[in-house]
Amino acid sequence: MPRRVQDIIPGDRRSIRNIPIEPIQTKTEKPSKANSQEKTGNITPSRSERGRDIQIRKMPLTPPLPIKKSKNSKKTKRLWYSLLITIPSAAVVIAVSGFMASTYFSRATFTIVPKIIPVSVNGTYVIKNSLASLEKDSLTYDIITVSGTASSAVPATDGPLVSTKAQGKVIIYNSHSSESQRLVAGTRLANDNGRIYRITGSIVIPGYKSSGGTVLPGSIITTVVADEAGAGYNISKSDPLSDFKIVAYKGSDKYQNFYARLDTDISGGFVGKKKIISPTLQASTTAVLSADLKKSLLIKVAAVIPNEFVSYDDANIYDIVSMPISDPGAGKAVMNIQGTLHAIVLKKTDLVPLIAGKETVASFGEMKYEVSGLENLKFSVANEAEFSAVKKNPLIIRLQGPISLIGTVNIEELKNSLAGLPLGETEAVLGRYTQVISLEKSTGELSPPWSPRVPTDTNHISVIIKKP
């Protein structure tokens, strides 16, 4: 039986599946009669309309499902909470660590400008030998003596046979009595090696002087000559020697209290053929040897002058003598010279108050100072003709030139005083040194600038002495 087909008209009940869909119209298209009838819901689309694509709006068939909470959501919350707590804490730790690091690596630099007093020196001064003067707080001089020899081989011819006796100078002392003692020419002196030397002229030895229990023996310099010829009587001041005794006083108290010591070498003793050298060659060789010997003596004396003394080249006294010519054979002769340098030295602590003034020195109080330019002063001896390094008589000197007195600071002591102080309190410490530093010109600086205090480690503190 054929199937019956009829139109099905939907009822009035609305369903989410039964939402009318309006076709999209263009601007030029006019609604047709069929379309108007379609709106009433009583007409079925024609066959041609069923074959045409109709645009629709897609709608979800069912409501969206609710979002399920992840199992890790609680962990995520805890992570955010921990981050909120940790980040400020880390910032604090970093800040504190940075502060501690800056404190550990902090540095302090203090630039100190010392107090400087310029002085123009131009004066004449009388000074006495320190051994002869018993006055306190007076300027005295000392003499440092060094000796040396120089030699050179030159062409020569043989001469006649000669025999000479050694001679030199000695200082004879009297610590026996305050009364003077006379010795006649030919008086014999002997040392421990048994060789005899005689004084060449009559002399009078002054008596000793006494002050406060201190005895200063009287003394006099005299020339002696060996009792026999020959090189065996030659003696150098550098040789280990005993004192000379007066042979005539042996067995009495005078034997111990009268004694002699070398003032110069005893030289010239020789027995043999005399070498003959051209006078011109001998003169030129002697000049060269003397110049070389003076240079070596200056080096030698500079090495033994104490730091607390000052010496001037113009205050040096040289004594250069020719010694016997020796015979090495083969048509040669060896020329020998001997030199002695007497260097006059002055004690700085006595000289500076005299030339700079006691008030100037007193301005430094109990603190120390150094003197610049003292060694460069122009020095001259006013009584050069009368002065003798052997006699050690008073010396008249002239000094000219500029010097500067410069305050000094014990750097390690200053560092220890500054360590650990706030920068504002360091000025009070530096104020203790106003006698030797210029406080208004001195500065202090901390690095990095926010460091609260001077480092406690003195190795992190620098003190720079800046002279203007």
pLDDT digits (tens, 9 = 90+) for 98-134: 555 555 678 999 999 999 999 999 999 998 887 665 5
Give the pLDDT of residue 78.
57
Give the pLDDT of residue 423.
86
Give the pLDDT of residue 102.
53
Residues 31-54 pLDDT 10s? 444 444 444 444 454 544 444 444
Cα separation, 376 vs 141, in Å, equals 18
Cα separation, 187 vs 196, in Å, equals 10
Cα separation, 43 vs 226, in Å, equals 171
- The identity of residue 115, as a single letter, is K
Residue numbers of the chain with a pLDDT score lower than 50: 1-9, 13-17, 24, 26-43, 45, 47-59, 61-62, 80, 90-93, 95-96
Instruction: Provide the 10 A C-beta neighbour count for residue 279.
Output: 8
**pTM for this entry:** 0.58
Q: Are the CB atoms for 106 and 446 separated by under 8 Å?
A: yes
Chain centre to alpha carbon of residue 317: 33
Give the pLDDT of residue 103.
54
Give the pLDDT of residue 79.
53
Q: Which of 266, 265, 261 is nearest to 171 (CA)?
A: 261
Percentage of the chain lying above the pLDDT 90 cut = 49
Cα separation, 265 vs 197, in Å, equals 13
Give the pLDDT of residue 468.
67
Give the pLDDT of residue 77.
53
Instruction: Provide the 10 A C-beta neighbour count for residue 461.
Output: 21
For residue 448, whether the previous peptide bond is cis, meaning omega lies within 30 degrees of 0, is yes
Give the pLDDT of residue 4.
40
Cα separation, 85 vs 81, in Å, equals 6
Cα separation, 239 vs 217, in Å, equals 24
Pick the CATH number of 164-276 from 1.10.286, 2.20.25, 2.40.30, 1.20.1510: 2.40.30
Cα separation, 33 vs 26, in Å, equals 17
Residue in the structure block whose two tokens are 């002591």: 413
- The identity of residue 441, as a single letter, is K
